[in-house]
Structure 1
Amino acid sequence: MAGGTPPRRRTAEVRSPDSGVEDLVDVAALQDWMQSQGVTDGPVRLGETLGGGTQNVLIKVRTGDRDMVLRRGPRHLRPRTNDMLRREMRVLEALSGTEVPHARLIAACPDEEVLGGAVFYLMEEVDGFNPAVGLSGAASRSLDVRRHLCLSTAAAAATLAAVDHEAVGLGDMGNPTGFLERQVGRWRSELVSYSSFAGYDGPDLPGVEALGDWLDDNRPAQWRPGILHGDYHLANVLCDHRTGSVAAVVDWEMTTIGDPLLDLGWLLATWPRGDGPEILSDGVRALAGVVDRDDLVREYAERSTRDLSSVDWYVVLACYKLAIVQEGTYARACAGLAPREVGDRLHAGSLVLLARAREITGT
């Protein structure tokens, strides 16, 4: 501007104990966007990265005296990362008026241009702990609180299943028609596709074919569509330090409209037993034996009008599906596309899942 004072660019303070976080978030661009959304009228500071690697990234953000969390894809975006995050944004917005425990959505940016190709959103920071990592607060000291924590996971799943997905604006998400009918064929095809990975000799998953047949032969005749989290287990909840209650269900990227009883099946399939390898991290062992499967089902039933007479079928489907999903990482590890130790651990977990399923089916 001739004869004038050059415009002054706002600066943003970066506080990052993790190297490379500036590559994930252009702080000046984030600040400009937050101001345009009415989230702040002051400077923005970044805190530590809460998650990362190959998964979606969580980064603390502070403006004034307000703390929040930014969620975006990993440094190297996968082909579907942005679409999955857009789905998360939509789900969190839909849940805002419900009783489902979740981190409140503050603002969403489905535009890829703001952060150089990555969509993102801001959500409230939840003061809670992940029980799959370890117990904290009262839960580490009190058996009663641990029991409440366990039952709260079933209660939260039932609360989600009770939401009218059409009333909250998710009526056009997913394809619930034939959802149960297509599960076995979908995941059989997925398992076959792994043979394309060089170095993978094919699945060594005892009983997987028989389990697929059992699922097709015993499929529930009737079910009611609802919101399905899609990956519901102890590692995807944050619990209150004082009460143990589920403070937030997290990681909504697999959410669809399907049969919500699969979330209950997933919770039961992955529940810690303490008598061998765990499906989740070893932190869950502290909850082994605190409640049993019947306790969780009763807690769910008290908050649900759904027919739970076929709950075993949903547990078997969860074991079957998750075993095949994990085998995919093992196949990629055999091809050198994922860490071998991770692939070996997940393959071992698949064997445990299939063994649990065979306990139910007798196959």
Structure 2
Amino acid sequence: MSAADLPGLDLGRLAGWLPGVLPDAGTDLTAELIAGGKSNLTYTVTDGTTSWILRRPPLGHVLATAHDMGREYRVMSALQGTGVPVPRTYAFCDDTDVLGAPFYLMERVAGTPYRRASELAALGEERTRTISAQLVDALAALHAIDPAAVGLADFGRPEGFLGRQVALWRKQLAASYTRDLPAADELHALLAADVPTESAAGIVHGDFRLDNVLVDDSDRATAVLDWEMATLGDPLTDLALMLTYHRLGASIGEAVTDASLAPGFLSEEEIVARYAAGSGRDLSRFGWYLGLAAFKLAAILEGIHYRHLAGQTVGEGFADIGDTIHPLLDAGLTAIKEK
């Protein structure tokens, strides 16, 4: 594929930059946009001998603090050699003259990012259960890491994290305003009025779900991907967001990942119990965390909806994004009121 065919990726400029960081790399490059991304743009790039993954921010309207390539690169580099599987990182570029935005290169890892229940159903219930259990264990392993031990002591401000999250996602939602969302206003008010005391701080992935994890043919998790929103804070936000994705998939299906509907996939109760046992964390205020997860995801999806309306999205699958926000907000209101 030529440079002209790839929005956001100038292969000629990339070829001029690449030998400076990977001296053995060739300069006759081809690339392919990896389907499925609705946020950062992800490409496979090859010189005919070696392949890499390149990540850069989306085109056009980009929310403040989101799509931070430097943070994503740093956290994956720090986690090399820990119990959390991450790709090898090669180089980060903050020179916007190359591709018009910061980007980085990482290893292309073998594995499948399972997204559909039908994909897991083809593997059978036993393998699906193994994969879903590994997903929970990988999350607990991440949250057990001491940030200071891997050079991430200054990666975020865990004190007051939950309150700042409520304010942040309110701001992000406002930045993508195209319509009134009264359920979002109600959910924000409930969240802001009753922020719980944070659990012990840890590394927060920020968008943890099965289709952000590569799984090999032996059902082993080979890489956790998409660290663009990683920070230090309350790890229970990761668990809540993952389960919110599951609930959303169960209610609207094809528009988001519905992998948790596959026979054999751990139930929500089993996931919570397994995580609690593996992490030792108190989940007594978990309904609030589920409400925050719904609010956060609504803000993210509204940002994608905003870019789609402005003609700034790349690829397919964006037309119905705006409709998914309403059941998501309703689920968040139910969770925060019931628990």
Q: Secondary structure at the match of 1:70?
A: strand
Query: 197, 200, 203: which one pairs with 1:221?
Result: 197
Say if 2:249 and 2:258, in contact at 8 Å, map to a contact too: no
Taking the aligned partners of 1:32 and 1:343, their CA distance within structure 2 comes to 33
Residue matched to 1:128? 111
Query: Matched residues in 2 for 1:273 and 1:124: separation?
Result: 31
Residues 31-70 of structure 1: matches in 2 within 5 Å?
31-40=15-24, 42-51=26-35, 55-63=39-47, 65-70=49-54
The answer to whether the Cα contact below 8 Å between 2:250 and 2:258 also exists between their aligned partners in 1 is no
Alignment map for 1:31-180 (pairs within 5 Å):
31-40=15-24, 42-51=26-35, 55-63=39-47, 65-74=49-58, 78=62, 84-113=68-97, 115-133=98-116, 140-180=122-162
C-alpha deviation, 1:358, in angstroms: 3.6
Aligned to 1:235: 211
1:86 match: secondary structure: helix
Counterpart-to-counterpart distance in 1, 2:226 and 2:111: 15
Kept in 1, the 8 Å contact 2:15–2:27? The answer is yes
Residue 144 of structure 1: how far off its partner (Å): 0.6
Contact 2:78 2:152 in 1 (8 A): yes
> Which amino acid is 2:94 matched to?
P
Unpaired runs of 5+ residues, structure 2, are: none
Paired letter, 1:118: A
- Cα pair 1:46 1:59 within 8 Å, conserved: no
**Secondary structure at 1:278's aligned position in 2?**
helix
| Per-residue CA distance 1:136-172 (angstroms, 9 max, x = gap) | 5x86232111111112221121121112212222222
Write out per-residue CA displacement over residues 204-239 of structure 1, whole angstroms, 9 at most, x where no aligned residue. 42xx44444443454332422221111222332222
Stretch deviating more after TM superposition (300-309 or 158-167) = 300-309
Structure 1 stretches lacking a partner, 5+ long: 1-15
SS in 2 for 1:224: coil
Identity of matched residues, %: 33
Report the AA paired with residue 320 of structure 1: F
Please, which of 228, 246, 252 is the counterpart of residue 221 of structure 2? Answer: 246
> Within the alignment, does 1:203 sit opposite 2:181 as a pair?
yes
SS in 2 for 1:180: helix
Question: What does the per-residue CA deviation read over 1:295-338, in whole Å, with 9 as the maximum and x for residues that have no partner?
Answer: 111222333133233333212211122224334555666x7567
SS of residue matched to 1:100: coil
CA distance in 2, matches of 1:357, 1:77: 26
Question: Within 5 A, what are the aligned runs for 1:304-323?
Answer: 304-323=279-298
Q: Which whole-Å deviations, capped at 9, do the CAs of 1:54-90 have from their partners, x for residues lacking one?
A: 7433332335743322223446585869971122111
Deviation at 1:288, TM superposition (A): 6.4
Measured in 2, the distance between the counterparts of 1:362 and 1:315 equals 10
- Which is worse superposed, 49-58 or 288-297? 49-58
Residues 132 and 234 of structure 1 are in contact (CA less than 8 Å); yes or no, is this contact kept in structure 2? yes
Q: Pick closer, same or farther for the CA change 1:156–1:251 going to 2, 3 Å.
A: same
Q: Are the equivalent residues in 1 in contact too, given 2:205–2:229 (CA < 8 A)?
A: yes
Number of equivalences: 336
How far apart in 2 are the matches of 1:33 and 1:274? 41
* Match of residue 21 from structure 1: 6
The Cα shift of 1:117 comes to 2.9
Distance, in Å, in 1 between the alignment partners of 2:60 and 2:187 is: 36
Question: TM-score, normalized by length of structure 2?
Answer: 0.82
Cα distance 1:276–1:134, how it changes in 2: closer, same or farther (>3 A)? closer
Cα distance, 1:98 vs structure 2: 1.5
CA distance in 2, matches of 1:310, 1:332: 34
| Most deviating of 220-229 and 208-217 | 208-217
Q: Is the 8 A contact 1:270 1:280 kept in 2?
A: no
- Bigger CA radius of gyration: 1
Query: Cα distance, 1:266 vs. partner?
Result: 0.3
Match of 2:266 among 291, 302, 305: 291
Q: C-alpha root-mean-square deviation of aligned residues, in Å?
A: 3.6
In structure 1, C-alpha distance between the alignment counterparts of 2:86 and 2:168, rounded to whole Å: 30
Residue in structure 2 matched with residue 11 of structure 1 by the alignment: none
Distance verdict in 2 for CA 1:24–1:271, change over 3 Å: same
Q: 1:8 maps to which residue?
A: none
Greater relative CO, 1 or 2 (CA 8 Å, sep 6+)? 2
Deviation of the 1:267 alpha carbon: 0.6
Q: Matches of 1:328 and 1:23 in 2, distance apart?
A: 19
Letter in 2 for 1:25: D
Q: 2:328 aligns with which of 328, 332, 353?
A: 353
Q: Distance in 2 between matches of 1:93 and 1:285?
A: 30
